[in-house]
Every structure is written in structure tokens, then in C-alpha cells.
Amino acid sequence: MHHDEGPGLRDQGRNGRDVACRGPTQSGVDTVTDGENLDPAQERSEERILDPSNLDAERHALGLRFLQLLEEKELEQIRDLALELSPGDLSETLRPLNVEDTARILRLLPPDPLAEVLGEIDNRSLGALFALLDIDEIAEVLEEMPSDEAADILSELDVAQQAEVLAAMEEEEREEVSELMRYGPETAGGLMDKEFIAVGEDQTCGEAVALLRRMEEDELEDIHSVFALDRAGRLTGRLPLFRLLLSDPQAHMQDVMEEDPLYVDVDLDQEVVASFFMTHDLVSLPVVDHRMRLVGRIMADDVMDVLEEEATEDISRLAGVSVEEFGEKSAFRVARSRLPWLLGALAGELGSVLVLTRFEASLQSVVALSFYIPMIMALGGNTGMQTSSVVVRGLATGEVGFFHLGRHMLRELGTALLTGLAMAVAIYGLSVAINGDPVLSVVLGLAMLLVILLAAMVGTGIPLLLHRLGVDPAVATGPFITTFNDVFGLLVYLTLATLFLDLLRGGAS
């Protein structure tokens, strides 16, 4: 398997220490189907630019064209059409297609373009594609990918297949990917890549520039800074490329670099990394181990993936669905993923049934009490959803800080008090107009106020408590909050009604 030495450049500095760089490769361009060679310069020639204002229609038309060509078995036209599209446009065009058709199309691409697309497609299509490739072909494609994406894709394979693919990879890429796979998938280590440039702090700018000039063009696309290391490999500084190019070639890195650069620890949670990126408006960020040795870097596009992943996870929990069903085409699998949530909600609502059973005598005595149960439960549930959604978002974005939890709790309770009073007055007026019973109307007004206050406390307090315990607060939203408020809202309402039972009987008679 052909593999040029671009990604493994090593340059001996004047002190005998390595000037090391990592970068994606531009190796063999044989197609994975018939071994027919393509000129690398033509792999992305005449890229088709889709109209941003009409993307859905254009991608739909392209998808139909791919299906037509598959039916006609025009493999060369399929490959040419796929190569005209950017990786993002191609992945979005293929998304509506079934996994078998997607795999058949991607199977026709040369390793380098295929590597660019693999990071964009779903896992089911990825599995179908790998089923069509042998181990050497999978290894060749992964070698063309950035190390972090290769590690992510490799982790989707079973253990035995992982070992076979790693064994087939070039030693340098194998070591990098194996190292990345040792870190937790939701940590900075699992997020970082190994495509960075680092030089000794006592080497010259001219040596660093000479290293850059030996690299291929595509290897420099995502390089924004050169990192400086001491003799132990510890991060001591960074130098943006524009400053490196403007510096005196004889100047030493330690004299022109930015000292004490921002960095993150390799074990830091990816959500904290994403927040750090946004706070400092970063494009890339070095990652260090516990000895401050540089082990990788994180790019802004990786952080964007984290933000999308976390938003999808939070939305799924708000709605009471599984993350896995996004993009799923099988109704059976979607139903299977939703059933546990619905069964959990059903079990929780048994609490409401028990509460109603406990207060059966009160409901039989004053039947009008039952008319307002849906209203009490709905407004309590909506209040809980409102407050919990605001709190979960605030915790995710850092707007709700640990040292200001009390302030936020007071704000939510104040809001609940105002809205509760307004709703209590409204339901009192409606009840008087409908039933003409002032005692029942007072009970309804008090119950509405207390239920909204309780719902706000639950919707605010539970996410904050879970956050304090290190649990994702998004689990407190959706069906959980709604079910909790249904049960306790009923309990508050019917308890008040029972306390006022004699007065209510008199009003009813």
C-alpha cells in the first residue's frame, strides 16, 4: 500500500532535537474498486457549487440522478458525479438514500476523497460500506483521514476488526490512532488530533519555516500556529503563522513566541472544552497531559461537532426520545427506542391514579373538582418545562454559574410567584363565571398558585442538583418533570379541596 512520507517529516534542529510535524497524507489515489489510477489533481477538479438558496431541491435532484445511474450501472458516471461535489454536499445528498445504495456509491471513490466523506456520513452507511471493503482498503482509507476522525470511525468496529485494521495500517498512523483511542470519547483527548507542528523553543524561525515548506499544501490548510516545546516536550509557547513569516529567520522561537498559551488538559470534559473555545473565540487549542507535554490539538470544527452532539442529546431528552433515532429510517427501531421512555412515563402516571384513588370520596362529594384537573396538571407541567429548559440551557452555556445558583433560583421563584398570582386570578374568575361557586373558585386559585410555585421549584431545583452531583441536568427535563408535576400538582389540589370540603359541600348544596 503506497504511503508517502509527508506526514512523518522529521527535521534535526541545530541542537539535535526533532522539529516534528503531523499532517493528513496525500497517498495512493487508486480506486477501491478496480485499481484504476486517477490524477490527484483531478480528484476534486471542477467542483460543483450548489445554490445555497436552493440546496434541498438540488440535493434531491442529485440523489435521484445517483439512483438512476445505479440502476443503469453507470459506475464511472457515478464516480465522476460524486467527485464533483464537496464532501459535505455529497454526504447530505446521500443521506436520504438507503445504506446499501450509499455504500455502493462511496465504494467507487478513491481513498483520499472517500476519507473526506467518511467523517460526514452516518454509522449505518459506514458499516455497510466497510462490509464491501477488505481490511487493507479500510486501513488505506483511514490513513488518509485526520487522526481523530480515523480513531472515531475505528472505534465503531468490533474489537477483532479494530485489531486487523490497525495491523494493516502504517506504523506511524497506527501509533497515533491507537493513542487517541485510549482516551475517553467525551474528553479533550478523544476530541483532539495529532496534526500539529511543534518545534524546540531554542530553534530558529528559519528552521520552522523550512519545515513548513517541505510540507504538502493540504497538510497546511488547518495549521494556524507553531507550538514551542522545551527539552522535555512541555508546551511553553505558540507562534501564529503570520508572525512566524514576519519574524527574522535567525530569531529563536523563545524570543518571538507568545508565552503561556491557552491549553486544556487531556482528560477535560468535551462540554467544558467547547465552552472554553466559545469564551476565548479560538480556532485551535493545544492539549497537554498531566506533565504539560503537548499531545495534540483541538480544532474549531471538532468543537462545532460537540455542540451539535450535545444540543441533539439535550433536545432528545427534552422530548423523551433516544439520540439514536435521529436519522433512523426504520419505524420499528424508532418505536423500540421510544417505548422505554413512554413506559417510564406510564409507570410515573400511576402515581396520579393513586392520588385520585386516595381522594375518591372528595371527588364524589364535589364532582365539579374533577372538571379542573386537566387545567391544573397542564399548567403545572408547562411551568416545569419552561423553568427546566431555561436552567438546562443556562448550565450548558455557562450563563448559570455554580456561584450564582441562589440568585437564579430566587429569580425563577419570583417569576413563578408573579405568573402564579396571575393564573390564580384568571382561574378564579373563570370558575366563578362557570360554576358560580366562590369557595370552589378560591380552592382553584390557591391550588393554581401553589402548583405553579412547586413546578418552578422542581423545574429549577432538580437540574441544579443533578449538575452539582455531576449528572447531565438534561435528564431532569421532558417526561420526568411533567410526570413529577402531574402527581404532586394533583396532590396539592385535592389536599386543598379536602381541607375545604365542608365549605364546598355547602356551596354545592
Range list of H helices, 133-240: 135-143, 147-154, 159-168, 171-181, 188-191, 205-214
Q: Please identify which residue in the block is written with the cell numbers 480513531.
A: 151
Which H helix or E strand runs over 151?
helix 147-154
And the C-alpha cell for 267? 482528560
Identify which of 179, 143, 201 has the alpha carbon closest to the alpha carbon of residue 266.
Answer: 179
The kind and range of the H/E element at 447 are helix 438-468
For residue 287, the model assigns a pLDDT of 96
- Residue by residue, DSSP assigns 385-424 as HHHHHHHHHHHHHTSS-GGGHHHHHHHHHHHHHHHHHHHH
Identify the bridge partners of residue 11 per DSSP, sorted by sequence position.
19
Measure the CA–CA gap between 91 and 210, rounded to whole angstroms. 37
pLDDT at residue 14, rounded to an integer: 32
CATH 1.10.357.20 residue ranges of the chain are 332-508
In this structure, the number of other CB atoms found within 10 A of the CB of residue 156 comes to 12
What pLDDT sits at residue 77? 93
Pairing of the two strands 197-200 and 18-21:
antiparallel
**Nearest-CA neighbor of 90 among 100, 103, 81?**
81
Locus of grid cell 418505536: 335
Contacts of 368 (CB under 8 A, 6+ apart): 435, 437, 440, 508
Query: Grid coordinates 420526568 are at which residue?
Result: 480
Whether 84 and 46 have beta carbons less than 8 Å apart is answered as yes
E strand or H helix that includes residue 66: helix 55-72
Q: What is the pLDDT of residue 257?
A: 94
Residuewise pLDDT in 10s, the chain (509 residues)? 333 333 333 333 333 334 344 433 333 333 334 434 444 444 444 678 888 888 889 999 999 999 999 999 999 999 999 999 988 889 889 988 888 888 899 989 988 888 888 877 777 777 778 888 889 888 988 988 888 888 988 888 888 888 999 999 998 889 999 999 999 888 999 999 998 999 999 999 999 999 888 888 777 888 899 999 999 999 999 999 999 999 999 999 999 999 989 999 999 999 889 989 988 999 999 999 999 999 999 999 889 888 888 777 777 766 666 656 666 666 777 777 777 777 877 888 888 888 888 888 878 877 888 888 888 888 888 888 888 888 877 777 667 766 666 777 788 889 999 999 999 999 999 988 888 888 888 888 999 999 999 998 888 888 887 777 777 776 656 677 778 888 888 888 888 888 877 666 655 54
Alpha-carbon distance 28 to 32, whole Å? 11
Compute and round to an integer the Cα radius of gyration of the chain: 30
Please give the span between the terminal C-alpha atoms of the chain, in angstroms, as a whole number.
Answer: 93
Residue 393: exposure state from Cβ atoms within 10 A (0-12, 13-18, ≥19) = middle
Cell of 255: 524570543
How far apart, in whole angstroms, are the C-alpha atoms of residue 129 and residue 302?
24
At 61, which amino acid appears?
A: A
300: number of Cβ within 10 Å? 17
How far does CA 204 lie from the centroid of its chain? 40
Which residues contact residue 382 at a Cβ distance below 8 angstroms, ignoring those fewer than 6 apart? Answer: none
Fold type of domain 12-22+160-319: CBS-domain (3.10.580)
Does the domain spanning 332-508 belong to CATH 2.40.10.10? no
Q: Half-sphere exposure of 213 toward its Cβ, with a 13 Å CA cutoff? A: 8
Residues 6+ apart with CB under 8 A from 175: none
pLDDT at 5: 32
**Residue range(s) in the chain whose domain bears CATH number 3.10.580.10:** 12-22+160-319
User: What is the identity of the amino acid at 81?
Assistant: L
- What's CA 158's distance to the chain center, in Å? 23
Q: Among candidates 141, 67, 137, 136, which has minimal Cα distance to 104? A: 67
| C-alpha closest to that of 349 among 479, 203, 184 | 479
Q: Taking a C-beta distance cutoff of 8 angstroms, is the pair 391, 464 a contact? A: yes
Q: How far apart are CA 477 and CA 313, in angstroms?
A: 12
- What stretch of H or E contains 346? helix 331-358
Torsion angle of C-alpha atoms 382, 383, 386, 389, degrees rounded to 10 = -100
